[in-house]
Amino acid sequence: MAMGKLVVIKIGEGSFELGFPVTLYIGDEGDRFHTSFDGQLPAFAQIPSIYTTWQSEYRHFINYSRINKRAEDLIKNLNEWLNSETFRPRKEKFLNKVNTEDTVRVIIQTENPLLRRLPWYLCDLFEVDTKAEVAISLPNYEKPSQLLKPQPKVRVLAIIGDPQTNTKNSLDLNPDKQFWQNLSNDADTVFLEKPTRQEFNQNLWDEQGWDILFFAGHSSSNPDATTGTMDIKPGENLTIPDLKLALKKAIEGGLQLAIFNACDGLGLAKNLAELNIPQIIVMREPILDPVAQKFLEYFLKAFSSGQSLYLAVREAREKLQGLEKEYPCASWLPVICQNPTEVPFKWSQLFTNKLIINPSLVEEIIAAGAKDEFFLFKEPNSCDLPKIVVVGTSVVGKSSLVNALFGGRDVVRVSSVPQDDEQTVEENWAGLFKIIDSVSYDEFREQEVEISIKCADVVVQLWDINAIRRNDLLLYQLITKNEKPCITAINKCEQYAPDERQIIIHKYKNVMSSIFIEISVKAKENLSQLVSLIIKELPIELQSIAIEKIASLEKIYQCRKVCKQIILETQMQADVMISYLMNEPNLLTELQKLHIIMVEKIEQQYIKLVLLKNNTTEPLKKLYTMQYSYSRIKKT
């Protein structure tokens, strides 16, 4: 089975004249590194001059054949360097640990500005793997403290700079805007065109937070790529330090990704990485307008369609090779800058527009006991439903959570002390998915718990906010080993004030990578949000089924609200009809027949009318009036 691998190549302090110490780490995604080995990249003094020669040809952009020739020289020498005697054994160990079926994230960790510019993905070290993408990172980093706020759509702040500054070439930035506008069903994009520094700063402080920061326009980095500038309007440019406090606030508020679809962005990336943002996408060198436009088009299409961030960048970058007859080395330019403490997100994890149920609807389902027949779904074959496995160590409230999601029904037995005869229990949740309450985890029941995890589409791991226990960590490792989407639900949060909760949960995030949600089974806090997260984390192939059912549930929910209103509106009219109906035996007989039907079927009939897009309420009003009238007559 294909695995997700994380490979970090840490290049220490050194120089091309003396060489660089290297440590290579290999691990599974979401887990600790299981392999590491040290090595040495030897002196190779000619690489800086070879790169500078290529860079000069590329930036003047006059002789295409010379650009390509210099590019070939650079790649040849880069591979020769990596095949040196002191590093080749490490390269071979890497190739033995990673197979061609693995999806591999490679992070080159270095402070050296030239090493950050090199097109590492072209090295034959990564040619054998068809699913590898290479990112760069700084050697010093911290895990950001972020408060993620569920939003109905992806929140994007798009800065459109001045298309023409001083003597620079004019840019056509309208396609960039259009590509974001094409995602309007999923993304809420706020465009700031040629903003002032104050406008840019003020929008970063938006209390709703941002998921993605996008910039299109002119930008540049200083020669050693330690800082960079954005040209936002005539006569005004900005650096990352100019916006430092606002950017830190945006990152704390959930900013996941910054995209600089502009020239020479490594200096901007370095400054922003120092603020511990999770991911950045920039261009290593100047980029021409058509190439920038195509990259954004390709990337957004792949990313919004469900590709991981790394594979979406890789696909977009590789497609740029089709432009290289006119724009040499176009596919060299895009690069991800990664905070190694963060696991890259997927587009669907940023929003829940298509997958989130109206919180009021979830509450209605829970209050009704989450019985699927209450919402008119036929009993599905249980094997067709997604499986949501709830796991946890003993006495964290796991069974209580399951019962709470079923409106307090005693679906599973609850005990305040560990039980030796505990069993796995399954129950259908409103026809949407099956919730499986696994036995409590300990080292003696690991195999039994793993069987439940293996069959899961999504795993919910329940933790007690009061303590991180060794078994909690072992259980999380078991989940990640089986490559299952995991939601970590922190229970008993009612015991702490909101600010105290955040401090405690931040400690949890330092020991694991997962989606976190604060809940309280006792106070019934955030149960509807937990259901929304579960649906969002379903595999793509199951999400479409969930979407259809949710749409039906939403209509049914709205229908029930309409039905209640109609009852109120028609009762007065029915009272007026009673005296007339009492004197019409034939009508009364018909009314008796209708009453039997109405008691069982009235809402279903109206719901069917709505689902057929016949939104009239008149037939229902008449039926309700007659049904109510008959019930009054019977009492008389």
Q: pTM to 2 decimals?
A: 0.63
Average pLDDT of span 449-460: 92
Q: Distances from the Cα of 565 to the Cαs of 39, 367, 552, 601, 617, in angstroms?
A: 74, 20, 20, 17, 11
Whether residue 309 sits in one domain with residue 196 = yes
Whether residue 312 sits in one domain with residue 403 = no
Q: Where are the beta strands (DSSP E) in 42-121?
A: 103-109
Burial of 560 (0-12, 13-18, 19+ CB in 10 A): middle
Whether residue 212 sits in one domain with residue 336 = yes
Contact present, 543 and 583 (Cβ < 8 Å): no
Whether residue 299 sits in one domain with residue 188 = yes
The model's pLDDT over 505-517, given as tens digits with 9 standing for 90+, comes to: 777 665 665 678 8
Highest mean pLDDT among 202-206, 301-305, 378-382, 607-611: 202-206
Domain enclosing residue 383, as ranges: 359-538
Which residues, 6 or more positions from 69, have their beta carbon under 8 angstroms from its beta carbon? none
Average pLDDT of span 26-45: 84
Which pLDDT does position 365 carry in this prediction? Answer: 84
Query: Comparing C-alpha atoms, which of 252, 48, 247 is closest to residue 260?
Result: 247
The answer to whether position 75 is within a domain reads yes
Among 137, 172, 197, residue at a domain's last position: 137
How many structural domains comprise the chain?
4
CA angle 566, 570, 574 (to 5 degrees): 155
Contact present, 77 and 41 (Cβ < 8 Å): no
Whether residue 88 sits in one domain with residue 124 = yes
Q: Distances from the Cα of 370 to the Cαs of 283, 398, 403, 428, 505, in angstroms?
A: 50, 18, 10, 8, 30
Structure confidence at residue 591 as a pLDDT band (50, 70, 90): low
Which pLDDT does position 517 carry in this prediction? Answer: 86
CA angle 433, 436, 442 (to 5 degrees): 150
Which pLDDT does position 377 carry in this prediction? Answer: 46
The answer to whether position 319 is within a domain reads yes
CATH code where residue 502 lies: 3.40.50.300
Whether residue 90 sits in one domain with residue 25 = yes
Q: Which residue type does 335 have?
A: V
Which pLDDT does position 354 carry in this prediction? Answer: 41
CA dihedral 85, 87, 90, 92 (to 10 degrees): -50
Separation between Cα atoms, residue 47 and residue 50, nearest integer Å = 5
The separation between the first and the last C-alpha atoms of the chain, rounded to the nearest angstrom, is 72
For 528, other C-beta atoms within 10 Å of its C-beta total: 20
Whether residue 90 sits in one domain with residue 200 = no
The answer to whether position 147 is within a domain reads no
**Within a 13 Å sphere around the CA of 369, how many CA atoms are in the beta-carbon half?**
8
Which pLDDT does position 126 carry in this prediction? Answer: 74
DSSP 520: B
Please check the confidence at residue 118 and state whether its pLDDT lies above 50.
yes
The answer to whether position 142 is within a domain reads no
Separation between Cα atoms, residue 487 and residue 562, nearest integer Å = 35
Whether residue 374 sits in one domain with residue 344 = no
Which pLDDT does position 353 carry in this prediction? Answer: 40
Among 137, 172, 207, residue at a domain's last position: 137
Query: Comparing C-alpha atoms, which of 208, 206, 228, 227 is closest to residue 218?
Result: 228
Which pLDDT does position 623 carry in this prediction? Answer: 52
CATH code where residue 280 lies: 3.40.50.1460
Structure confidence at residue 380 as a pLDDT band (50, 70, 90): very low
Separation between Cα atoms, residue 625 and residue 615, nearest integer Å = 18
Average pLDDT of span 119-145: 83
Whether residue 551 sits in one domain with residue 530 = no
Q: Which of 163-167, 375-379, 399-403 has the lowest mean pLDDT?
A: 375-379
Structure confidence at residue 61 as a pLDDT band (50, 70, 90): confident
The answer to whether position 220 is within a domain reads yes
The answer to whether position 146 is within a domain reads no
**Higher pLDDT, residue 615 or 359:** 359
Which residues, 6 or more positions from 434, have their beta carbon under 8 angstroms from its beta carbon? 382, 385, 386, 387, 388, 426, 427, 428
Contact present, 196 and 233 (Cβ < 8 Å): yes
SS (H, E, C) 464-508: ECCCCCHHHHHHHHHHHHCCCCEEEEEECHHHCCHHHHHHHHHHH
Please check the confidence at residue 571 and state whether its pLDDT lies above 50.
yes
Whether residue 389 sits in one domain with residue 320 = no
**Higher pLDDT, residue 383 or 237:** 237
Separation between Cα atoms, residue 635 and residue 593, nearest integer Å = 17
The answer to whether position 228 is within a domain reads yes
For 320, other C-beta atoms within 10 Å of its C-beta total: 21
Among 538, 555, 579, residue at a domain's last position: 538
The angle, 0 to 180 degrees and rounded to 10, between the axes of the packed helices 527-536 and 359-367 is 110
Which pLDDT does position 283 carry in this prediction? Answer: 97
Specify the pairing of strand 4-11 against strand 103-109.
parallel
CA angle 534, 421, 409 (to 5 degrees): 45
The model's pLDDT over 514-568, given as tens digits with 9 standing for 90+, comes to: 678 889 999 988 898 899 888 878 876 676 677 677 777 776 666 666 656 655 5
SS (H, E, C) 302-369: HHHCCCCHHHHHHHHHHHHHHHCCCCCCHHHCEEEEECCCCCCCCHHHCCCCCCCCCHHHHHHHHHCC
Which pLDDT does position 458 carry in this prediction? Answer: 92
The answer to whether position 590 is within a domain reads yes
Which pLDDT does position 90 carry in this prediction? Answer: 81
Average pLDDT of span 271-287: 96
Whether residue 367 sits in one domain with residue 291 = no
Whether residue 585 sits in one domain with residue 458 = no
